Structure 1
Amino acid sequence: MASIPNDSELSYRPCVGVMLVNMDGKVFVGQRIDSQVEAWQMPQGGIDDGEDVRAAALRELGEETGVGEAHVEFIAKAREEHFYDLPTELIGKLWGGKYRGQRQYWFLARFLGSDEDINIQTSHPEFKEWKWIDPETLPDLIVPFKRKLYRDILQEFRALI
């Protein structure tokens, strides 16, 4: 029987995240399709081996929202990577059990299109619903283990929204 590694022995999955804001200063959130609880989040996902972080952010945004480069203006990149740990009950169940959480490079991007340019019915949908929300309400909609990270991102980008 294989032993499950202690979570302190596991590394963090390299990822990107995008705080997509519209012209009214509202933030895009999607409701995860694979969650039993009401779990909303901003677009985010893994970085492929050798992939540039900005390119990964654009790819993830397209894969999750259908929004392409023509409808996005990158405004800022977070000064540092942000980390979160999975709750103990999820360690070993996600990402093949290889990671204890994620280390994320975050970008702030302005959405230049219209709502009709958003299509969450992508080839591998991750969201079942989406909406624009006031930035201040963002941490309240997020699963508890990501709240500090979302508060930190919001604090860093707030003046630029």
Structure 2
Amino acid sequence: MIDADGYRPNVGIVLLNGDGRLFWARRVRRDGWQFPQGGMRSDETPLEAMYRELEEETGLAAEHVEVLATTPGWLRYRLPNRYVRRHQQPQCIGQKQVWFLLRFTGHEQHLRLDASETPEFDSWRWVDFWYPAEHVVSFKRRVYERALRQFAPLVERACRIRIEHPQRRRDSGSADIAAA
């Protein structure tokens, strides 16, 4: 499903643990790391797509997470020209995403990257809050930054921590996440 502007509807998932760290996973047979994400089916709401993608990519079910927030609208990114499939119609030029902030309430043994027949990830770890925005593939960085900026105040309250933006951290020399 691609909209009239060439964007594929998609959901992105920021999974937060109790320490304020985020789930970060490596794509199968690639060196790229990212948050779980995936396309929406035409008969799904963003929430339904999020739960389906969460289970397919991480093995987690609804009882293992708590939805804390969503972005208020679509966040878009364009694909680099080398990834645009010009022979396909309608042509997809990028993704438009609704992002979800989830609190992980399960146990780490619930995380199963092999939950689907075609796993998308082969490794995962917990990372500092701003790490993904600095290390995701370049064409997704702006969307990651925007989603994380929207979620940062909620994470600070939920985890009782202070999250300093990387630019301010570079200027002041302080840490990614400091205790409140």
Q: 1:18 aligns with which of 6, 13, 16?
A: 13
Distance in structure 1 (CA, Å) of the matches to 2:89 and 2:33: 23
Q: 1:32 aligns with which of 23, 27, 42?
A: 27
Distance in structure 1 (CA, Å) of the matches to 2:53 and 2:5: 24
Aligned 8 A contact 2:6 2:90 in 1: no
3-state SS, counterpart of residue 61 of structure 1: helix
Shift, 1:16, TM fit: 0.6
Runs of 4+ more than 2 Å apart: 95-98
Aligned 8 A contact 1:13 1:101 in 2: yes
Counterpart check, 1:139 vs 2:133: yes
Q: Which amino acid aligns with 2:99?
A: W
With a CA cutoff of 8 Å and minimum separation of 6, indicate the structure with the bigger relative contact order.
1
Q: Which amino acid aligns with 2:80?
A: P
Aligned 8 A contact 1:14 1:46 in 2: yes
Q: Which amino acid aligns with 2:47?
A: R
Tell me which residue corresponds to 2:43: 50
3-state SS, counterpart of residue 139 of structure 1: helix
Aligned 8 A contact 2:6 2:93 in 1: yes
Shift, 1:107, TM fit: 0.7
String of CA shifts for 1:110-138, please: whole Å, max 9, x gaps: 00011111000122200011111001211
Shift, 1:96, TM fit: 7.8
String of CA shifts for 1:73-117, please: whole Å, max 9, x gaps: 001110121000001111117x88731010001111100011111
Percent identical: 38
Q: Which amino acid aligns with 1:158?
A: A
Q: Which runs of 5+ in 2 are unaligned?
A: 156-180
Q: Which amino acid aligns with 1:12?
A: Y
Tell me which residue corresponds to 1:67: 60
String of CA shifts for 1:23-81, please: whole Å, max 9, x gaps: 1111111101153xx21111100001120110110110100000001101001110121
Tell me which residue corresponds to 1:158: 152
Distance 1:96 1:125, change over 3 A: farther
Q: Which runs of 5+ in 1 are unaligned?
A: 1-8
Counterpart check, 1:92 vs 2:65: no
Q: Which amino acid aligns with 2:59?
A: G
Tell me which residue corresponds to 1:78: 71
Q: Number of residues paired by the alignment?
A: 151
Aligned 8 A contact 1:72 1:111 in 2: yes
Tell me which residue corresponds to 1:4: none
Q: CA RMSD in A?
A: 1.9
Q: Which amino acid aligns with 2:76?
A: F
